[in-house]
Structure 1
Amino acid sequence: MSLLKTTLDANAFACILEFVPKPSAERFATLDTLMARTQLCGWPLTVAIGDRVGSALDMSPLDAFASLAEPVPALLHFSGKDRERRDLLAQLQRMDAAGLDQLLVLTGDRLPGHTPGQRPVRYLESVAALQIVRQARPHWLLAAALNPFKYQEAEGGAQYFKAEKKLAAGADLFILQLGFDIDKHQEAYDWMQRQPRPKPLMACIMALTEGRAGMLEHVAGVTVTPSMRTLLAAETAVSRQYAKDRANQRLALQVIGLKLMGYAGVHLSGIHDVAQFEALEQAITELQPLFTTLQDWTSAWQAAWQEPGLPAVTFHPPGHAWRLGQRQISASKKEKARYHLLAAMHHQLFSRTTPLSKAFGWAVTRPLWRNPTAAQWLHQLERRIKRPMVGCDTCGSCRLEDTLYICPETCPKGLANGPCGGTRLDRCEFGDRECVHSAKYRLAVSVGRAEVLTERLIPCVQVENRHRSSWPVWFEAGTPQPHGPAPRNEADEALLATTPERKAAPRRMKATLEDL
């Protein structure tokens, strides 16, 4: 059993140290030194190894793990950027060989160089990836991401809807996006406690300085407000050391507050040397005895974000302060009319119950369409009809019924189950459009179909099925099973097989709580 899983099962507090692999001997030597400590303030320490944080050419998490001087407890990341199902299955095999059995599954932020309208880049969506891994490795610890730092209803509500799908897909643990709004941390914790089977939550946190705040402006999904920037600039104006000490104090306070709130641990980002680690440990050790309740802690947290002569810091963007449970939006009459029209058309043509749908199904499943030329003609016909209506890119596995007739192919990442974490006030991470999942959420709550966005787990599109007509597939498949496990193909079966050799794979992580 992995150290992190052992810690979580014991309801003990855990620390994860983030490591972004780069070909630097000094960085690896520092990580080896930090991980040799095995704990932070008595809390078990695991390293999280990032995947494709910069580009697809980054060192892989598995190669980084193999480069460590000694095997350590590790949580590998898997990013779906420019990846297909086969890439995930191949990584599972390599992890078996390395004795690794825990994985953080992410869709991933925008791949550098991906421009909509040019070469399409496919992203293996986290919900579908979780289904694949849970089916293939039932006993692994699977972590997923949640970004509660959203300040408009559609983007925030859609995040929680997708999180429900991740729970259903098999997530054991949720790690929050980097954030500083403690009210949103509480919101996410309260949401999880309302779930039928709550899972542990961990929060990604960082010591925030003025320089880092400027860098985070370019990180999708992270919110640093103007009032926060003003405070950080004022601290830097006193001295760099003063600003650094204040940032470290806030980080220590945030660790303590999250523990008091009930979080299972923290995911520490931005600690790159031993001195930073030791300064944090010292600050936590000094401050922790001062706070026994969250109420006692809150005033200290607020004071840590104040400077004489400056206005109070707010953690939400100016003019936007939505909280979960607030209802602020409604779809337009045009959006609702479009939905009802397309739903009626779908019923008549694809329900398999109406005379028209039976006739249409019979027509598109004739042997004629198995001829390559005829199949291409049918593909072009479907594309010409559906592209002007819904933006169809003929993925070969139409999911419109499960997405309220808003085509997931109109999302630059091709996400079907919900949004990524990179939206900002309903705008897509790419900045050129409204997030299609915000539009989908707005429509769902307006027409009373919210359950579609929380219950229907949509499998990933097989790359070999793209750019062909979905019509024969729809009728030949019979009644679809959107709630069931992701379908396998023959190539998957070999990779997913549990062989004696895989069962006997060496385990390199032997640390337990008793060892510490």
Structure 2
Amino acid sequence: MSLLRQALHDHSFVCVMEFVPKPSAKRFAELASIMAREHLCGWPLAVSIGDRVGSALDLSPLDACQSFETPVPTLLHFSGKDRERQELLAQLPRMDAAGLDQLLVLTGDRLPGHTPGQRPVRYLESVAALQIVRQARPDWLLGAALNPFKYREEEGGAQYFKAEKKLAAGADFFILQLGFDFQKYREAQRWMQRQPTPRPLLACVMALTEGRAAMLEHVAGVTVSPAMRRVLAAEAAVSKSFASQRGIERLALQIIGLRLLGYAGINLSGVHSLEQFVALEQALDTRLAQVQTLDDWQTAWDQAWQMAGVETVSFHPPGHPWQEGQRGVRASALEQTRYHLLSALHHQVFDRQTLLSRAFGWGVRQPLWSTPKAARLLHRLERSLKRPLVGCDTCGQCRLQDTLYICPETCPKGLANGPCGGTQLNRCEFGDRECIHSRKYRTAVTVGQTEVLTQRLIPCVEVGGRQRSSWPRWFAESATSVGNEARQELTQG
């Protein structure tokens, strides 16, 4: 049993070192010296290797893992950005050969150079990727990401809806996005405890200074509030060493607080040298002797965010204190009308039960449409009708019924099962639009269709099926389903 699997099984707090595998011998040597210690304050130590976090020039997680002279307990990442199913499946036997059986499955942040409206970039989203790996490797330990640091109802609710799908798709544990708001840590924990089969939660943590906060402004989905920035600026004004020491002390307290809350462990980011690791361990040793209860911890945590002349810190963006479970949004009249009209249209033409839909299905399943010229004509017809209406890109596998008639292809990443973690107050990571999954959430809550967003796991679109009409396949699947039901009835009879 792997170290991480054993720790999660035994409910032992675990430290997972996050490593971005840049092609640098020094970085590998520094991590090796840290991993040689095997523990942080007695907690078992593993490493997680990021997948193209910095650039496409980073080593692959598997190649990076195999670069260590002494094997280390490793959790590989798989990022779906600019990837298809076959690339994920091709990695699995290579991991088998290396004796690795655990994977953190991520959709991935924005691919550098990806600009909406130019060359489409496909993202193999995490829900579909989890299903693929779980089916291919039933016994593997699979992790997924969750970002609870959301401060608008739509984006926060949609995050938790998608997390339910990740659980259903096979996630064994979650690693939370980097954050600092303990109300949100508690919120994520309460949400998990309400699930039929709760899974362990780990939290991504990092020592925060003014310089780090400036860097994190460019990391999608990470929230550092203006009030936090003012404290960090006041620390930096004293001295760089003072600010650094305060950052380490807060990191130690953050780790202790997570352990007291019952988190399974941490994903430790931003520690790149043995010197930094030892400084954190010393700060932890000091604080562990002082902080024994959550009340003790809360007092110490509040003090760690105080500076003379600076107002009391708040961790949420100004005016946006939303917490999970609060319901108040409603879809606009236009959004509701759009949903009801498209739902009625779908029922009449694609329900497979009405006379019109049966006639239409019979027509598009005729052998004529299987010829190349006729197939191109049907493709152009579908695209010309649906693109102005819903933004369709004729992916060949229409999912509109499962997405409340908001086309996944209008998401720059093409995500169908829910949002990535990169939204900020409902704005898409790309910054040019509202996240379509926030619109889906509003509509679902208003029309009473939230189960669509929590229960329907939508498979990935195969690359070979794109740019063709979805209509023949839609009605062919209906015919296949009817045939299977008829055979079952005969068998049972």
Which letter does structure 2 place at the counterpart of 1:87?
E
Following the alignment from structure 2 to structure 1, what is the Cα–Cα distance between the partners of residues 421 and 55?
18
Letter in 2 for 1:263: Y
Deviation at 1:207, TM superposition (A): 0.2
Question: Does the 8 Å CA contact 2:397/2:461 hold for their aligned counterparts?
Answer: yes
Quick one: distance in 2 between partners of 1:60 and 1:277? Answer: 25
Deviation at 1:444, TM superposition (A): 0.2
In the TM superposition, residue 288 of structure 1 has moved relative to its aligned partner by 1.1
Q: Secondary structure at the match of 1:18?
A: strand
Q: Distance in 2 between matches of 1:382 and 1:279?
A: 62
- The CA distance in 1 between the partners of 2:59 and 2:315, in whole Å, is 34
1:192 aligns with 2:192: yes
Kindly report structure 1 stretches of 4+ aligned residues shifted beyond 3 Å.
none
Partner Cα distance (1:48, 1:271) in 2: 13
| Whole-angstrom CA distance in 2 between matches of 1:36 and 1:171 | 29
Shift of 1:291: 2.2
- Correspondence 1:321-360 to 2 at 5 A: 321-360=321-360
Output the amino acid matched with 1:241.
S
Conserved in 1, the CA contact under 8 Å of 2:257 and 2:294? yes
Contact 1:152 1:426 (8 Å CA) reproduced: yes
Bigger relative CO (Cα 8 Å, ≥ 6 apart): 1
Letter paired with 1:387: R
Amino acid at match of 1:69: E
For 1:131, the equivalent position in structure 2 comes to 131
Mapped to 1, the partners of 2:202 and 2:58 lie a distance apart of 26
What are the superposed Cα offsets for residues 150-169 of structure 1, whole Å, 9 maximum, x if unpaired?
00000000000000000000
Q: Secondary structure of 1:478's partner?
A: helix
Task: Determine helix, strand or coil for the equivalent of 2:413.
Answer: coil
Contact 2:173 2:199 in 1 (8 A): yes
**Partners of 1:256 and 1:479 in 2: how far apart?**
58
Distance 1:22 1:72 in 2: 17
Q: Deviations over 1:282-338 (max 9, x none)?
A: 111111132222122111111100011110111101111100111121001111111
CA RMSD of aligned residues (A): 1.0
Q: 1:275-294 counterparts in 2 under 5 A?
A: 275-294=275-294
Q: Residue 187 of structure 1: CA displacement?
A: 0.4
Shift of the alpha carbon at 1:477? 1.0
CA deviation string 1:122-154 (max 9, x = no partner): 000000000000001011100000000000000
Alignment correspondent of 1:514: none
Following the alignment from structure 1 to structure 2, what is the Cα–Cα distance between the partners of residues 213 and 139?
39
Take 2:234 and 2:328, find their aligned partners in 1: how far apart are those partners? 36
Corresponding position of 1:14: 14
Counting only pairs closer than 5 Å after superposition, residues 57-72 of structure 1 correspond to structure 2 as 57-72=57-72
Q: Do the aligned partners of 1:54 and 1:112 also contact (CA within 8 Å) in 2? A: no
1:479 Cα deviation from its structure 2 partner: 7.4
Aligned residue identity for 1:300: A
Aligned with 2:12: secondary structure? coil
Q: Counterpart of 2:487?
A: none
Give the AA of the match of 1:375: A
How far the C-alpha of 1:480 sits from its partner, in A, is 9.3
| Displacement after TM superposition at 1:66 (Å) | 1.1
Query: 1:161-310 counterparts in 2 under 5 A?
Result: 161-310=161-310
1:36 is matched with 36
2:250, 2:480 → 1: CA distance? Answer: 51
Residues 479/65 of structure 1: CA separation in 2 closer, same or farther (3 Å cut)? farther
| Structure 2 residue aligned with 1:414 | 414
- Distance change in 2, residues 1:107/1:386 (3 Å): same
Task: State the alpha-carbon separation in 1 of the partners of residues 324 and 172 from structure 2.
Answer: 23
Q: CA deviation at 1:59?
A: 1.1
C-alpha spacing 1:37/1:480, structure 2 compared with 1 (3 Å)? farther
Counterparts of 1:28 and 1:238 in 2: how far apart (Å)? 34
Equivalents in 1 of 2:480, 2:230: separation in Å?
A: 54
Query: 8 Å contact 1:52–1:81 — kept in the other structure?
Result: no
Rounded to whole Å, the distance in 1 between the matches of 2:56 and 2:413 is 15
Instruction: Give the aligned partner of residue 313 of structure 2.
Output: 313
Check 1:479–1:411 CA distance in 2 against 1; reply closer, same or farther (3 A cut).
farther
- 1:468-488 CA distance string (max 9 Å, x none): 00000001112799xxxxxxx
CA-CA distance at 1:239 after TM superposition: 1.1
Name 2:383's counterpart in structure 1: 383
Cα 1:409/1:71, change in 2 over 3 Å: same
Kept in 1, the 8 Å contact 2:20–2:54? The answer is no
* Partner amino acid, structure 1, of 2:277: F
Residue matched to 1:140: 140
Counterpart amino acid of residue 388 in structure 1: P
Contact 2:22 2:57 in 1 (8 A): no
Kindly provide the amino acid, as one letter, of the partner of residue 104 in structure 2. L
The answer to whether residue 443 in structure 2 is matched with residue 443 in structure 1 is yes
| AA at the equivalent of 2:36 | A
CA distance in 2, matches of 1:230, 1:187: 25
Q: Please name the residue that 2:424 is paired with.
A: 424
- Which residue pairs with 2:372 in the alignment? 372
Counterpart of 2:253, as a letter, is: L
2-side partners of 1:259 and 1:221: how far apart?
A: 24
The range that moved more, 59-68 or 164-173, is 59-68
| AA of the residue aligned to 2:363 | A
1:473-484 matches, cutoff 5 A: 473-478=473-478
Q: AA paired with 2:381?
A: L
Letter in 2 for 1:358: R
Distance (whole Å) between structure 2 residues aligned to residue 479 and residue 278 of structure 1: 65
Identity of aligned residues (%): 71
Opposite residue 310 of structure 1, the aligned amino acid is V
